[in-house]
């Protein structure tokens, strides 16, 4: 037998959700996209994508948040994998298994997270070993939030959100997410934002000094005060109960609250671990929200979950 190359039979990648600490939205561009200035933070709510060599392309979606997620070629994880294959001349089909914990259509970029996970998993399964910039380029073609979910942490996003720059952020933050049973369509929220602002001047967005100062301080209260989202009014206009949820969380002691991305998930910042526990209990007991999740941030971006025993194939 000749030398043996270690080729995994399957690869599993864990990927976090994101919250936008600040989301500033400019006037729509000619291509329909809105220029953004955003600060992302990855949080410890994870999806997992497992890819396995198969005779034909296929996908399955499992887990507590799998309802309403397409198990076909329109799934963002499948789109990302196919794009990576096409860009690198790969003809080997895979089966993708997506395990969803991230709320769907909740403004936490679950679909983009799965796309980032699929890129990292397929890159390893196919032995491509692409450079980070090469992977980021494909990620940006798949969706604006996908490059951030590759890197994770806390970062500034401009352009459509896909142009990333590091942010100096200190500390660990304790989040409580109020989930909604219903989702909100991202394009519908942007359209409502444009409608609410029509007739008013809308400036090109740039990150606020307050947010940068708060992140450098590592102080939860300062960050809580600096949280902001230009899409919040639009999300509340389409789903007024979001406003009641925000009021409830602040009343129960959150040091800040903001609609996550295009909503309807509301992200509350707590002072520390204990306060986050209390807040989650109060929100649940009050009946003001359908479901809550606690998480901390920042979290690592898409990363391979080590398997206990790799399979060796003779070459
Ligand atoms: P964002 O914050 O990026 O605007 P979101 O968190 O509001 O997104 P997603 O959970 O990413 O929304 O899903 C939006 C829609 O995309 C879903 O309703 C679903 O039909 C479709 N979709 C495609 N692939 C996926 C996936 N892997 N996970 C979730 N939704 C997916």
pLDDT digit string (tens) for 113-138? 999 999 999 999 999 999 999 999 99
H/E stretch holding 76 reads helix 76-87
| Structural domain includes residue 114 | yes
Catalytic residue among 18, 47, 100, 123: 18
Q: Confirm whether 247 is a catalytic residue.
A: no
Q: Are 132 and 52 found together in one domain? A: yes
Q: Are 37 and 140 found together in one domain? A: yes
Q: Are 26 and 145 found together in one domain? A: yes
13: pLDDT strictly greater than 50 = yes
Q: Are 125 and 202 found together in one domain? A: no
Task: State mean pLDDT over 29-47.
Answer: 94
| Structural domain includes residue 279 | yes
pLDDT for the residue numbered 267: 98
| Structural domain includes residue 229 | yes
Task: State mean pLDDT over 293-302.
Answer: 97
CA 139 to each of CA 61, 87, 115, 301: distance values in angstroms, whole numbers, following the listed order: 21, 12, 8, 13
For ligand 1, residues with CB inside 6 Å are 68-70, 75-77, 98, 104-112, 114, 145, 183, 186, 261-262
> pTM value?
0.93
The pLDDT mean for the chain works out to: 93
For a substitution probing ligand 1, which of 64, 104, 229, 302 has the most ligand atoms within 8 Å of its CB? Answer: 104
For a substitution probing ligand 1, which of 15, 66, 69 has the most ligand atoms within 8 Å of its CB? Answer: 69
Q: How confident is the model at residue 308 (pLDDT cuts 50, 70, 90)?
A: low
CA of 100 to the centre of ligand 1 (A): 11
Q: How far apart are CA 277 and CA 270, in angstroms?
A: 9
Q: Are 160 and 177 found together in one domain? A: no
Q: Are 161 and 14 found together in one domain? A: yes
CATH number at residue 259: 3.30.70.890
pLDDT in tens, 219-251: 999 999 999 999 999 999 999 999 999 999 999
Q: How confident is the model at residue 2 (pLDDT cuts 50, 70, 90)?
A: very low
CA of 127 to the centre of ligand 1 (A): 28
Q: Whose CA is nearest to atom 1 of ligand 1?
A: 109
Task: State mean pLDDT over 139-149.
Answer: 97
| Structural domain includes residue 76 | yes
User: Which atom belonging to ligand 1 lies closest to the Cα atom of 185?
Assistant: 7
62-81 burial string, b = 16+ CB within 10 Å, else e? eeebeeebeeeeebbbbbbb
Residues contacting residue 89 through CB under 8 Å, at least 6 positions apart: none
CA of 105 to the centre of ligand 1 (A): 5
CATH number at residue 57: 3.30.230.10
Around 260, how many Cα atoms within 13 Å sit in the side-chain half-sphere? 30
pLDDT for the residue numbered 145: 96
311: pLDDT strictly greater than 90 = no
| pLDDT over 90, % of the chain | 87
Question: What would the two tokens of residue 133 be?
Answer: 């910039």
Q: Are 28 and 130 found together in one domain? A: yes
113 close to 15: Cβ distance less than 8 angstroms: yes
Q: Are 184 and 266 found together in one domain? A: yes
Q: Are 254 and 147 found together in one domain? A: no
Q: How far apart are CA 275 and CA 144, in angstroms?
A: 33
Q: Whose CA is nearest to atom 25 of ligand 1?
A: 111
203: pLDDT strictly greater than 80 = yes
CA of 124 to the centre of ligand 1 (A): 24
Q: How many CB atoms lie within 10 A of CB 206?
A: 10
Q: Are 149 and 179 found together in one domain? A: no
| Structural domain includes residue 262 | yes
307: pLDDT strictly greater than 90 = no
| Structural domain includes residue 310 | no
Q: Are 151 and 179 found together in one domain? A: no
Nearest-10 crossing angle of helices 76-87, 110-125: 40
CA of 213 to the centre of ligand 1 (A): 32
pLDDT for the residue numbered 6: 60
Q: Are 102 and 200 found together in one domain? A: no
What is the number of domains present in the chain? 2
Q: Domain ends where: 125, 142, 167?
A: 167
| Structural domain includes residue 261 | yes
Q: Domain ends where: 118, 144, 167?
A: 167
Catalytic residue among 47, 114, 145, 230: 145
Q: Confirm whether 18 is a catalytic residue.
A: yes
What range does the domain containing 138 cover?
10-167
Q: How far apart are CA 240 and CA 201, in angstroms?
A: 25
Q: How confident is the model at residue 81 (pLDDT cuts 50, 70, 90)?
A: very high
Q: How far apart are CA 186 and CA 262, in angstroms?
A: 6
Question: What would the two tokens of residue 68 be?
Answer: 């309403």
Q: How far apart are CA 268 and CA 251, in angstroms?
A: 11
Q: How far apart are CA 26 and CA 285, in angstroms?
A: 39
pLDDT for the residue numbered 7: 65
């Amino acid at each position: 037998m000749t030398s043996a190359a270690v080729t995994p039979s399957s690869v599993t990648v864990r990927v976090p959700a994101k919250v936008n600490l600040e989301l500033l939205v400019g006037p729509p561009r000619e291509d329909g996209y809105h220029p953004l200035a955003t600060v992302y933070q990855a949080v410890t709510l994870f999806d997992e994508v497992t890819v396995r060599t198969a005779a034909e392309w296929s996908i399955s979606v499992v887990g507590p948040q799998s309802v309403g997620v397409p198990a076909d070629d329109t799934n963002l994880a499948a789109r990302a994998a196919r794009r990576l294959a096409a860009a690198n001349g790969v003809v080997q089909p895979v089966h993708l298994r997506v395990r969803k914990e991230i709320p769907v259509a909740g403004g936490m970029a679950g679909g983009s997270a799965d796309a980032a996970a699929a890129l990292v998993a397929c890159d390893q399964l196919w032995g491509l070993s692409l450079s980070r910039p090469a992977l980021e380029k494909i990620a940006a073609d798949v969706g604006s939030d996908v490059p951030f979910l590759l890197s994770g942490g806390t970062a500034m996003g401009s352009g459509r959100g896909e142009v990333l720059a590091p942010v100096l952020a200190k500390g660990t933050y304790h989040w409580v997410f109020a989930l909604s049973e219903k989702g909100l369509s991202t394009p519908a929220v942007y359209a409502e934002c444009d409608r609410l602002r029509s007739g008013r001047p809308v400036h090109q967005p740039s990150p606020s000094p307050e947010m940068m100062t708060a992140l450098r301080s590592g102080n939860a209260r300062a960050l809580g005060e600096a949280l902001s989202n230009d899409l919040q009014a639009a999300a509340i206009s389409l789903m007024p109960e979001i406003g009641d949820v925000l009021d409830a969380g602040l009343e129960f002691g959150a040091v800040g609250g903001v609609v996550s991305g295009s909503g309807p998930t509301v992200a509350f910042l707590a002072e520390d671990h204990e306060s986050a526990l209390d807040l989650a209990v109060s929100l649940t007991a009050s009946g003001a929200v359908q479901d809550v999740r606690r998480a901390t941030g920042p979290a690592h971006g898409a990363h391979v979950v080590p398997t206990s025993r790799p399979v060796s194939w003779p070459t």
